Amino acid sequence: MSILVDKNTRLLVQGITGREGQFHTKNSIEYGTNVVAGVTPGRGGEAILGVPVFDTVQDAVTQTGANVSVIYVPAAFAADAMLEASSAGIPLVVCITERVPVQDMMRVKHEFNLRGTRLIGPNCPGLISPGQAKVGIIPGEICTPGHVGLVSRSGTLTYEVVDALSRQGDGQSTCVGIGGDPVRGLNFVEILELFQQDPDTHAIVLIGEIGGTDEEKAAAYIQAHVTKPVVAFIAGQTAPPGKRMGHAGAIIEGGTGTAEEKIHAFHAVNVPVARYPVECAELIRKAL
DSSP state of 239: P
CATH superfamily of 138-287: Succinyl-CoA synthetase domains (3.40.50.261)
Domain ranges of the chain: 11-120, 138-287
Does the pLDDT value for residue 80 go beyond 50?
yes
Is 264 a residue of the active site? Answer: no
pLDDT, mean of residues 215-235: 97
- 191 versus 2: the higher-pLDDT residue is 191
Q: Would you say 189 and 125 are in contact if contact means Cβ atoms under 8 Å apart?
A: no
* Catalytic residue (choose from 24, 147, 202, 247): 247
pLDDT tier at 187, thresholds 50, 70, 90: very high
* DSSP SS3 for 268: helix
pTM of the model: 0.93
pLDDT, mean of residues 178-197: 96
User: Could you tell me which CATH number the domain at 11-120 has?
Assistant: 3.40.50.720
- 49 versus 212: the higher-pLDDT residue is 49
CA-CA-CA-CA torsion sign (18, 20, 26, 32): negative
pLDDT at 254: 47
Which of these ranges, 31-45, 130-144, 233-247, 260-274, has the smallest mean pLDDT? 233-247
* Count of beta carbons in the 10 Å neighbourhood of residue 23: 12
Buried b (16+ CB within 10 A) or exposed e, 100-111: beeebbeebeee
Does the pLDDT value for residue 72 go beyond 90?
yes
pLDDT at 135: 98
pLDDT, mean of residues 98-118: 97
* Count of beta carbons in the 10 Å neighbourhood of residue 98: 17
- Residue 47 β-bridge partners: 52
pLDDT at 242: 56
pLDDT at 259: 86
Instruction: Choose among 71, 23, 31: nearest CA to 49.
Output: 23
